[in-house]
Amino acid sequence: MINKVGIIGSGTMGSGIAQVAATSGCKVKLYDTNQAALDKAKSALEKILARLVEKGRIDSAEKNRIQTNISYSDSLKDLSDSDLTIEAIVENLEIKKKVFSELESYVSDECIIASNTSSLSIASIAASLQKPERCIGIHFFNPAPLMQLVEVIPAIQTSKEVLDKSVKIISDWKKTVAIAKDTPGFIVNRVARPFYSEALRIYEEGIADFETIDRSMKTLGGFRMGPFELMDFIGNDVNYTVTETVFAAFYFDPRYKPAFTQKRFAEAGYLGRKSGKGYYNYDENGSIVPQISNVPQNAPEVSGEESELAQQIFDRVLVMLINEAADALFWNIASAKDIDKAMTKGVNYPKGLLAWADEKGIDWCVSNMDALYNEYHEDRYRCSPLLRRMNGKGMRFEV
């Protein structure tokens, strides 16, 4: 039974996970080396819960119960009685390994030690422990209290007991679990790469501007945000770093190659909403400020949202996403069900990509991928073997 939870790191993610666990009735200790950061986290939680009371989502008694369930500490030793610890600190493997090694000297042999990393190797992190079988990846999405999906990633060292316990506790916290293999980017940060990278490629080729690409994906695909809006929301520095990390981790596979446009925007400090300027300009409320079109000089004019150009953009990005999802299934990264669940619950895609492949038709997917490869002759556009095997046989994913 997991009742006592330690959270390492009191930033937005760590605080969010603490709120989730405390809401579900766990006794939570939130640890950070910086007392000011702890004070900030406590104050932020007070505001969040007060807002929920104002909106009628919870009452004052529930607010007090959640707050009482969380204590704050600047000593890692205070996590010694934890049944589960979840680390949510900087994405630096050596720092994580150092923290985990120290933590293990304080907690019991039964304590599960988890990392919230979004892309680093769980096996590498586990190797820093004397009991690596207790280590697992438990990856929440930001903001943790609102986002439904949690990826659970067992390392090759992780015991089945630890995996089963981890899945149960996250399910008990009313979250949707997707189990992923310990590979770069897991499910979401791997499969979602073409949403950004192909949009950037389309822009760099001079085919369309940021607004046209975003509008095409929202209008024709039903995405809540276009690729450039979403990159601005995430932060161009963060999104570029994830892309660069996945690219290197996949031995520089051209499918994950970063774009110079995003690199230059990050270098210029055009990070998006948090800096007030990215692919769009933002006011003090985070709303996009109307601006002069950024369309490249050689781009064709757009006649409307339902134009041939918009359809071309949407089809190109969608088939690359479907191809990546199919390849994740081909390599047994996760089940078809968990892949589609991850994309709808983790990044709010309007439908699962494998279900979308069934809707469009496997032949449509293969012919569009082959058309891209025939045009560019780049390995970036190679069709997944799984799609090619299914093509012409009337097969469907049936997710």
Catalytic residues: 118, 139, 151, 189
User: Residue 311: which of 368, 269, 263, 262 has the closest Cα?
Assistant: 368
- Which residues, listed in sequence order, are joined to residue 31 by a DSSP beta bridge? 8, 73
Q: 139 φ, ψ to 5°?
A: -100, 110
Check whether the bond before 145 is cis (ω within 30° of 0). Answer: no
CB neighbour class for 239 (10 Å; exposed up to 12, middle 13-18, buried from 19): buried
φ/ψ region of 8 (left if φ > 0, alpha if ψ in -120 to 50, else beta) reads beta
Using alpha carbons only, what angle is made at residue 50 by residues 48 and 54, rounded to the nearest 5 degrees?
A: 115
Q: Residue 209 in contact with residue 295, Cβ under 8 Å?
A: yes
The separation between the first and the last C-alpha atoms of the chain, rounded to the nearest angstrom, is 33
Structure tokens that stand for 325 in this block? 């999802």
Q: Cα separation of 312 and 97, whole Å?
A: 46
Buried b (16+ CB within 10 A) or exposed e, 172-188: ebebbbbbbbbbbbbbb
Instruction: Fill in the amino acid letter for 238.
Output: V
Contact 246, 253 (CB under 8 A): no
